[in-house]
Every structure is written in C-alpha cells, then in structure tokens.
C-alpha cells in the first residue's frame, strides 16, 4: 500500500490518463478523493490550498517529509512509474534509460500526444460531449468542423507512424500510449466513432490498447452522466 492520496474526478480524461497508469502498475493508493469538476469543487478553498492551480488530478505522497505534492497527469504518471514501477526494463512503462534512441522516440511520442493530438481532441470532446452534458453550453458547430479536420490530419500521421511499430514510441508499451487513451475512448465511443475507419494501423493499435486489463477495468462499466 502506497502512502499516496489521489485527488481526482474519475469521469474526466486527464484523471483517467493517470488511473490507467495506476492500474498498469497495480499500485495500491491509500486514499482516493473524488472532486466533482461539474460542481466546481476544484475551486473549493481546501483544494486550492493544496493545489493553487485548482485542477485535478494531483497527488500527495506522504512517503516524503514534507509530503510530495504533484500536479499534472503526465508528470504524475512519469513519477509513479519511476518511483513505484517495475525495475525490469521490458516491463517498465518508460524507455530503457541507457538507450538514447528509445528515450528520444518516447519523448517525441509524448510531445506529439500533447501538442498535436490532445490540442485538438481535448477541445473537440469538450465541445461535443462535456460542454452540453455538464455545463449546459451550446456546441460550437463551426469550431467542431475545423477541429475534426485538424484531428483527421493528426490521426492520418499517427496511422503512418504506426505502420512500422506496434506502439507510439516503438515496439514497447509506454505511458505515452496511455496518454492517448482517454480522449481516444471518448472519440471512439461517443464523439467520432468513424475516426479510425480507414486507418488500419491506428485501429490495430487501438485494439491492443482496449484489450488491456487497465482499459477494461477503467472504461468497461463507465457511465458518463
């Protein structure tokens, strides 16, 4: 059992990115505190005192004195893998630290997810799913049209990337793959189900990801409401 307290809203993609990593590591979390974003609980004074940026997920790891406070899902995922993951390189969710090329490909894949894929998928899923569902807003149709065109370009490039490798950073699963999964889930199941129809390499990668136990545990019975 770790000494970690996780502050999260498990319905949302950024927390889901971290929850996938936790499942993959089989990491036991001491305490999970759900923070309802739709009710603006992330702006409550007790949350802002712990994380002034007022966002979830974030963690407090009491294994340190003083406790380590860490925000941003990707940074937390990397930390958890290094601090609590397997020391066996093939089983690790990070590249071989002695392999400069593997590290470079990992950093490239992680950057593509953040600056190309997430930059578009995040906005599109918000506009078409979360905005009307939780915030009673009206979907911006013209904005979504542009976002879909940009997303298709990104997915086409990812499909070509995956033609010669099994995973986003090479032939080994890393947290870079997990970073893509939550928004891909919402795109595939709700927002844009035909996105991968003509992208065979992306479809094969997505099948590998959705067959993983971590995906099944997190998304198998998930209801967005």
Backbone φ, ψ for residue 121 (5° rounding)? -60, -40
Question: Average of pLDDT values for 165-178?
Answer: 98
Return the pLDDT at 221: 61
CA distances from residue 51 to 39, 67, 80, 144 in whole angstroms, order as listed: 17, 13, 18, 32
CA distance 57 to 200: 33
Express each pLDDT in 16-46 by its tens digit.
999 999 999 999 999 999 999 888 899 999 9
Return the pLDDT at 225: 44
Average pLDDT along the chain: 95
Q: Are strands 31-34 and 4-8 parallel, antiparallel or unpaired?
A: parallel
Listing from the earlier edge strand, what are the strands of the sheet with 4-8? 31-34, 4-8, 58-61, 68-71
**DSSP state, 6?**
E
Return the pLDDT at 220: 84
DSSP tally for the chain: helices H, then strands E: 10, 4
Question: Average of pLDDT values for 82-106?
Answer: 93
Q: What is the largest CA-CA distance in the chain?
A: 52
- Contact yes or no for 82/145 (Cβ under 8 A): no
- The domains located in the chain, with CATH, are 4-84 (3.40.30.10), 100-219 (1.20.1050.10)
What is the distance in angstroms between the CA of the first residue and the CA of the last residue of the chain? 31
- Contact yes or no for 57/7 (Cβ under 8 A): yes
CA-closest candidate to residue 187, choices 172, 171, 203, 164: 203
Answer yes or no: pTM beyond 0.85.
yes
């Amino acid at each position: 059992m770790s000494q970690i307290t996780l502050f999260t809203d498990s319905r949302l993609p950024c927390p889901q990115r971290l929850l996938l990593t936790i499942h993959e590591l089989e990491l036991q979390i001491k305490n999970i505190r759900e923070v309802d974003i739709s009710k603006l609980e992330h702006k409550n004074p007790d949350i802002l005192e712990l994380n002034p940026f007022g966002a979830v997920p974030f963690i407090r790891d009491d294994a340190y004195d003083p406790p380590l406070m860490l925000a941003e899902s990707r940074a937390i995922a990397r930390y958890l893998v290094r601090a609590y993951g397997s020391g066996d390189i093939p089983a690790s969710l990070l590249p071989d630290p002695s392999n400069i090329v593997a590290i470079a490909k990992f950093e490239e894949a992680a950057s593509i997810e953040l600056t190309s894929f997430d930059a578009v998928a995040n906005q599109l899923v918000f506009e078409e799913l979360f905005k009307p569902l939780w915030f009673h807003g009206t979907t911006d149709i013209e904005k979504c049209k542009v976002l879909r065109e940009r997303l298709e370009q990104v997915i086409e490039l990812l499909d070509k990337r995956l033609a010669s490798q099994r995973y986003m950073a090479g032939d080994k699963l890393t947290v870079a793959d997990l970073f893509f999964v939550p928004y891909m889930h919402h795109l595939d199941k709700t927002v844009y189900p035909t996105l991968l129809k003509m992208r065979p390499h992306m479809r094969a990668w997505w099948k590998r990801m959705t067959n993983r136990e971590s995906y099944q545990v997190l998304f198998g019975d998930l209801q967005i409401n």
